[in-house]
Chains A and B, each alone.
Chain A
Amino acid sequence: MARKHREIGKAGWGYTAIASVIGFIYFFPVLWIILTAFKTRTDALAVPPKLFFTPTFENFVSVFYRTSITTGTAQATDMGLYFFNSIFIAFTSVGLALIVGTLAAYAFSRYPLKGNDTYLFIILTTRMMPPIVVIIPIFLMFRLSGLAGSYWGIILLYTAFNIPFSVWLVKSFFDELNPEIEDAARMDGANERRVFFNFCIPQILAGLSATFVFGLILTWNEFLFALLLTGVETRTVPVAMARTLGGEVGVDYGLLAAIVTLFLIPIFFVTFLLQNQLLRGVTFGTVKK
């Protein structure tokens, strides 16, 4: 697995230039949102669009404190809570799904059942229809069971959504491993628990990171179920964001851009933190060892 990465700059200026242009095109909308977050309302709506302006932090302040139109006093918004909700719900459910998925994937990979592939296929079929198809039964079930509006409800739902994906992805990482290493560990005095934790898991950390980030991004951005199944206390940022649209004062683009910008930070942070692992994770198995 010790592949040599190409040194930085070795690709030559031509490729670097092309990559930069493509990167810029893809990143431009995001960049525009980030710029808008620092603009005043007039600058944000100016025609032609302004590229140079005096930056302001007022949008970021108003994410958390808003002046009430009727009373004129500054009030704390619930945005802090919503950010906490988004982080708590996404990380917990993706983490849970990863734990369950990893254990299941190991079992599927190392102790195949009769009809193993059928089980795996059934697990995959849950991802084959658009989730909106099941939204009514799920909504009714959540209402009946009292899960609607609770942290547990939305966390369990997201966990269930993430498990199939985790099982499949992590299983492919386990399949790549050389089982002789596990056998050797068994011969050398390790029990099954040590084989799993000390020998299998360290070898697929890259894969686990990749799975975690992919799951996190999916869950982080989820809107539909969050809209229907979260309550006032458990609302996530995408839902809160949508609620800033409309209303009596029209769309406050600066405010919206500020929320989006803040919303991007955790994902940027996690992706950045795991970028080395991620790169190895997504290329895992594509290069013959």
Chain B
Amino acid sequence: MSIELKKLTKRFGSLTAVDAIDLDVGDGEVLCLLGPSGCGKTTTLRMVAGLEAASDGDVMLGGKRVNELAPRERNVAMSFQFYALYPSLSVAENLAFPLYAEQLSGAEIEKRVAQVAKTLQLENILKRTPGQLAEGEKQRVAVGRSIIRDPQCFLFDEPLSRLDVQLREEMRGEIKEVLQDLSRPTVIVTHDQLEALTMADRIAVMRDGRIEQVDTPHNVFQSPSNLFVAGFIGTPQMNLVSATLKGSNGEGLADFAFEGDQSLKIKVDPAVSQLAPGATVTLGIRPRNLEMSQEPTEDSLSTKIDMVEPMGAETLAHMNDGHHDLRLVTDWRVPLAEGDHVHTRFPPDTTHIFTEDEQVLRSTP
């Protein structure tokens, strides 16, 4: 079993919602489509489901082209953002509904409902109607209804977006566990990066109908392939500071000048020597990788602490060098006071460099 998308495109009038995307999801793999709202991730999912017709390109399920098949002929299970439980049916009937279409015997249906109810702890609420359920229970019923069949693949549209934080963490684990047992290709649409990072085997980051990067959660986080992915993944957001390359020696020691006449020298990558002196680049560094120093060093900017936000185990400090706002996260025990002057260091092994056309030039190992 696999899902393959080939140059899949969806146009609504003059708007291209999904722009020639290629994607592969293997058997047992969980792929998260992650992106800001309106980036085309749900449209992509709906095209796989057959609820939306592709304007161009192919949807292949298990190696077979299914573009022309109706949703019910594709044998795909989907769970919806607002759960889409059938309001007039009881929980048990909701769970059993997909099985009616398969014309199973009554005994078999009962058996499967009992089995799914047990997996998802729905035994006590089988007789209730959706109107009488709490959000978390509705979510579980929706998941149950999608896993009760044996479909070719699973699709989840924003499965956790309606739950509160605590329930979300709980359900995240539960869904992950269920998906591991199912070992079918699964696509999860989400705008919540934490959800994607925790649940996915691979993440496809989307923007404006295109896929910006497909990789494992670790790689998407550690080696963003362009400026958008770098800025989108990770909280607090990666610091992205534009600078001008003054020059570099052949071994990767580069000299960057910043707005406001500050500059720093860091040993990055021999690749910088490809750039002509005077080229504009963007330095990217995660708030947890910035370091502070009391003394000026070659690889630091002189900054003032604007604001301090305690986040429990860590503290988020907003630093300013007069032109750029830098976010720095440090241990809560480090004493920080607003108005203090410190030097903010860019450790070379955690500094990303992006070229002017927003592509990565150097990422961290």
Chain A interface (Cβ within 8 Å of chain B)?
A: 1-2, 178, 180-181, 183-191, 199, 202-203
Contacts and interface: CB of A to CB of B under 8 A. Distances in A.
B164 to A, nearest CB: 19
Nearest to B142: A184
A184 B80 contact: yes
B256 to A, nearest CB: 50
A115 to B, nearest CB: 13
Contact of B84 (A1, A181, A190, A203): A181
A276 to B, nearest CB: 15
A165 to B, nearest CB: 27
A203 B98 CA distance: 19
26 contacts: A1-B87, A2-B132, A180-B81, A180-B82, A180-B84, A181-B86, A183-B49, A183-B78, A183-B84, A184-B78, A184-B80, A185-B97, A186-B50, A187-B49, A187-B98, A188-B97, A188-B98, A188-B101, A189-B72, A189-B100, A189-B101, A191-B70, A191-B72, A202-B88, A203-B87, A203-B88
B292 interface: no
Contacts of B84: 178, 180-181, 183-184
Contacts of B337: none
Chain A contact residues, majority secondary structure: helix
Contact of A199 (B76, B86, B98): B86
Contacts of A188: 72, 97-98, 101, 145
A24 B77 CA distance: 58
Contacts of B81: 180
A187 B72 contact: yes
Interface residues of B, number: 27
A187 B51 CA distance: 8
B153 to A, nearest CB: 12
A187 B72 CA distance: 5
A199 B80 CA distance: 16
Given A183-B80, A203-B87, 10 more contacts: A183-B49, A183-B51, A184-B78, A184-B85, A184-B145, A186-B51, A187-B51, A189-B98, A202-B88, A203-B88
Contacts of A180: 80-84
A190 B80 contact: no
B71 interface: yes
A135 B102 CA distance: 56
A189 B102 contact: yes
A277 B77 CA distance: 34
A199 B84 CA distance: 11
A187 B86 CA distance: 13
B131 interface: yes
A189 B85 CA distance: 15
